[in-house]
Structure 1
Amino acid sequence: MRTPVQDTHSRPGPGRVPRPRRLTYLGPKGTFTERALRTVPEADGSRLLPAATAARALELVHRGDADAAMLPVHNTVAGPVGDTVRALAETPAPGVLREVVLPVEFALLVRPGTPLAAIRTVSGHPHAGAQVGGWLAARLPRARWLPASSNAEAARRVGDGACDAAVAGDFTAAHYGLRVLVAGIQDTAGAATRFLLCARSGAPAGPPVRPADRTSLVGRLPGPPDDLEALLDDLRRHPLLRPVSLHTVPDGCGGKVLFADCPGSAEQPATARAVGLLRLRLPGLRSLGSYASAPSAPPPYERSLTTMHSRTTTDEETEPRDIARLRERIDDLDRSLIGALKQRLETSREIQRIRTGGGGSPLDSGRERSVRSRYAEELGEGGAGLAEALLEMCRGRSPR
């Protein structure tokens, strides 16, 4: 666990003028990452330095040219951010100071006067592309997707005339002289991205908002992909590791990089045992430290439990309205899920038609194993069962 030290920036010696903190982020200006950075107290009075990539941002921190870097690490729809996870694994001894979680909504940004019918190329970060793919397929089926290092970089390309449209936050438009052509183009409402403020281990840290309740590890995984999947399946079934979230991304060389989240501080016995087991089985893992997870409102059932002993008549009158609003939200999510499932079903059957038309088998067991593993990573034990039901449906047999 990282040991906080005194912040020398805020306590200069006699006659010394404190220099401002230098904080870097995945840029250029106008990214969700910059917005996340501006929410933390460390940003007050600091110089904010955009970096072209996550690796570049962490390099600035490692060399001492920046004090900390804010980077996106996971999205509730698109999963782990591969560039960040790989950069964390390759940078010597980064540590996490704090976590930020932001809701994300996307807009289609264009140069003024560009109509939807004139768009032939659309650019954005791959994670943004994963979250707006359905909308683009329905509204711009002939447009070519051009991946960018960030959504703001995509917007800059549009401003320079290198492509027709960008997928980014609506707030990005003003930075590059663009306008919002269509807002709210994400396929799934309520998505959020998790960001980590990273520094060199032992770097000055502000006072924690509350005690650490999350410990993260990262590292390359050795061995062939099939062996790794078997190892990860074994780890997920271990009693000590059931509460642990294990995410993998390709390392670009045929292997995988693992990002693991353990509930609790490394000083707590249960967390220490889980961390020890992971590092024993996967010696390449290293700890990013323990830190407080981002504060969020309690789920409705937690809120009702905390207020049940102090319930008033007003509470009883408003609760049904709260439930009705939340059920409407669930109905909206269900409609989005059903629409996505129909698209997946048709796409899977098209793959089967192509495979059988070429004399091959309609099924790919390796691919199905990968799907089960992905669902288990994101949703826990229930995810594997959900994946199996989905695979059955896509094979042409409805689940019982």
Structure 2
Amino acid sequence: MRTPVPDTLAQPAPGRLPHPRRRFAYLGPEGTFTELALRSLPEAAGSPLAPAADAADALALVCRGAVDAAMLPVHNTVAGVVADTVRALAESPALTVLREVVLPVEFALLVRPGTSLARVGTVSGHPHAGTQVAQWLDRRVPRARWIPAPSNAEAARRVRDGECDAAVAGDFTAAHYGLQVLVTGIQDTAGAATRFLLCARHGGPGFPQPARADRTSLVGRLPGRPEDVDGLVAGLRRHPFLRAASLRAVSDGRGGAVLFADCPGGTDRPATARAVGLLRRRVPGLRFLGSYPSAAHVPSYERSKTMQTETTSAAGGSTEPASGDIARLRERIDALDHFLIGSLKQRLETSREIQRIRTGSGGSPVDSGREAAIRGRYAEELGEGGAGVAEALLEMCRGRSPR
């Protein structure tokens, strides 16, 4: 069933002169992290936004020209790749990725006003959210039944309408559905983040060309039998041209598999061009999704204001002074630091587990070849100084603090 396109996508608001504006879709309904990611982009300010029921529905709106672009979640640092999005990208021809957004994600338990934790018998949320709060739910509501939903906002709607007792979602979602935030910070891992992609049609309405391209993505079906997929992907990962690439395979839901590949840099870089060429030779059905800016170059967002449908500037009011802009940027830096510290802790724990395994079997705790590849990746991604960041990180993960 296709998502109906709201009238606001076709008609200007009363009292406003018609002018060319971008039209966007996102994984809905209202109140999702995906909407938050979309509203963080300056080109979405004041633009009509259409919530879609799922990733395939959002991309269908793009492909038939009902909207100019769609924002979709593609990967979470804890739960991994978002399979629905990857499958939808593989099934949608003639798409390109314009840019990415990365948001820190924290979850709350939302209930109807007056509901206590003891009365929660059913909990709903997106499967990725369920993965990220599973331990908390097991500890605090062990008898509650989990009900997966297409999105966390849809789970909140179900709670509002009495279809279940609680929803796992962002705390900002509560206001959209008249719910109460019962508990905040219920995620099992601090510093988790979700990556989102803004996708448009090839040859569709033009968007400003990015000043630089930091990432190149491809998607397509993997050849062969399902049992051969793991071996094929493992072989690709071992190839020296693909050491810096990220390769993620998901089920296509029909007994096959889909590959989503990320390569650092744009195809104007020789190393990236080699990696893309190799991938397309080894996986003939792989489709180029484009080169685009990484999240490091996306403007900051402010959670409390980006979720509002009208901003002060859109209503014709005055803009905030520069000091307010600085405060917002500092808030984003604090959020990013929180995310980085959480990620570093996870990396430390993982590295030390690898060291225990290697030394337990009589090997060296350090793999010099692997470390050289990491230094190269950081240098390629971050430019001058990247190798120094990698060295400090490697020193820390070896158990010695950097000087």
With the length of structure 1 as denominator, give the TM-score of the two structures. Answer: 0.71
Mapped partners of 2:94, 2:54: distance in 1: 18
**How many angstroms does 1:296 deviate by?**
6.9
**How many angstroms does 1:141 deviate by?**
0.8
- Does 2:226 correspond to 1:195? no
SS in 2 for 1:295: helix
- 1:238 corresponds in structure 2 to 239
**How many angstroms does 1:36 deviate by?**
0.3
- Does 2:164 correspond to 1:154? no
Residues 203-218 of structure 1: pairs in structure 2 closer than 5 A: 203-208=204-209, 210-218=211-219
- 1:126 corresponds in structure 2 to 127
Structure 1 residues 296, 188: CA separation in 2 closer, same or farther (over 3 Å shift)? farther
Residues 1-400 of structure 1: pairs in structure 2 closer than 5 A: 17-208=18-209, 210-295=211-296, 333=345
**1:57-107 Cα distance to aligned partner (Å, 9 max, x none):** 000000000000000000000000011000000001110111100000000
**How many angstroms does 1:18 deviate by?**
2.7
Mapped partners of 1:95, 1:24: distance in 2: 15
SS in 2 for 1:252: coil
Contact 2:191 2:342 in 1 (8 A): no
Contact 2:191 2:341 in 1 (8 A): no
**How many angstroms does 1:45 deviate by?**
2.2
SS in 1 for 2:296: coil
Mapped partners of 1:296, 1:212: distance in 2: 10
Structure 1 residues 270, 331: CA separation in 2 closer, same or farther (over 3 Å shift)? closer
Identity %: 69
**1:191-221 Cα distance to aligned partner (Å, 9 max, x none):** 0000000000133444355400110000111
**1:125-184 Cα distance to aligned partner (Å, 9 max, x none):** 000000000100111111000000000000000000000000000000000000100000
**1:302-327 Cα distance to aligned partner (Å, 9 max, x none):** xxxxxxxxxxxxxxxxxxxx9xx99x
Contact 1:214 1:262 in 2 (8 A): yes
**How many angstroms does 1:337 deviate by?**
6.6
Alignment root-mean-square deviation, CA: 2.8
Mapped partners of 2:38, 2:30: distance in 1: 12
Mapped partners of 1:36, 1:166: distance in 2: 20
Paired amino acid for 1:282? V
Mapped partners of 1:53, 1:27: distance in 2: 7
**1:305-360 Cα distance to aligned partner (Å, 9 max, x none):** xxxxxxxxxxxxxxxxx9xx99x9569947x979xx9xxxxxxxxxxxxxxxxxxx
Mapped partners of 2:18, 2:188: distance in 1: 50
Mapped partners of 1:192, 1:331: distance in 2: 9
- 2:310 corresponds in structure 1 to none
Mapped partners of 1:40, 1:279: distance in 2: 32
Which runs of 5 or more residues in structure 1 are unaligned? 1-15, 298-321, 342-375, 381-400
**How many angstroms does 1:234 deviate by?**
1.0
Contact 2:192 2:342 in 1 (8 A): no
Mapped partners of 1:89, 1:224: distance in 2: 18
**How many angstroms does 1:231 deviate by?**
1.2
Contact 2:216 2:290 in 1 (8 A): yes
SS in 1 for 2:228: helix
Indicate the larger mover: 263-272 or 145-154: 263-272
Paired amino acid for 1:77? V
**1:349-381 Cα distance to aligned partner (Å, 9 max, x none):** xxxxxxxxxxxxxxxxxxxxxxxxxxx9xx99x
Paired amino acid for 1:22? R
- 1:360 corresponds in structure 2 to none
- 1:366 corresponds in structure 2 to none
Mapped partners of 1:62, 1:272: distance in 2: 27
SS in 1 for 2:85: helix
**How many angstroms does 1:38 deviate by?**
0.3
Mapped partners of 2:342, 2:92: distance in 1: 41
**How many angstroms does 1:265 deviate by?**
0.6
**How many angstroms does 1:113 deviate by?**
0.5
Contact 1:208 1:292 in 2 (8 A): no
Contact 1:42 1:206 in 2 (8 A): no
Contact 1:189 1:333 in 2 (8 A): no
With the length of structure 2 as denominator, give the TM-score of the two structures. Answer: 0.70
Mapped partners of 1:219, 1:295: distance in 2: 26
Mapped partners of 2:67, 2:343: distance in 1: 46
Mapped partners of 1:244, 1:330: distance in 2: 23
Contact 2:34 2:71 in 1 (8 A): yes
